[in-house]
């Protein structure tokens, strides 16, 4: 992972999906995630970063680790 946000999101995914190695291109659902795990992921994202991502946004996009980290960065640091 290239930045702190990516590393922190990867740690959340790693724990939820029981995976040790992840890349920015990995897709949450292709790795075995489901809507329940997605909800848990978004709750942890909210706790860790203080931003709320709607479940519909997560489900509508083919959410990769890189896309989610980018979305979190946009929400936390909108001026970047």
Q: What does the pLDDT look like over 22-75, one tens digit per residue?
A: 999 999 999 999 999 999 999 999 999 999 999 999 988 789 999 999 999 999
The HSE-up count of residue 8 (CA atoms within 13 Å, CB side) is: 14
pLDDT at 2: 57
Query: Taking a C-beta distance cutoff of 8 angstroms, is the pair 46, 24 a contact?
Result: no
Q: Report all structural domains of the chain as residue ranges with CATH numbers, in order of start.
A: 4-76 (1.10.1200.10)
The structure tokens 């659902």 sit at 29
Whether pTM > 0.85 for this model: the answer is: yes
């Amino acid at each position: 992972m290239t930045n702190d946000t990516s590393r922190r999101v990867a740690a959340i995914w790693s724990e939820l999906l029981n995976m040790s190695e992840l890349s920015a291109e990995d897709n949450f659902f292709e790795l075995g995630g489901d809507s329940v795990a997605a909800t848990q992921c978004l709750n942890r994202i909210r706790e860790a970063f203080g931003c709320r991502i709607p479940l519909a946004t997560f489900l509508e996009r083919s959410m990769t680790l890189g896309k989610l980290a980018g979305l979190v960065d946009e929400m936390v640091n909108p001026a970047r």
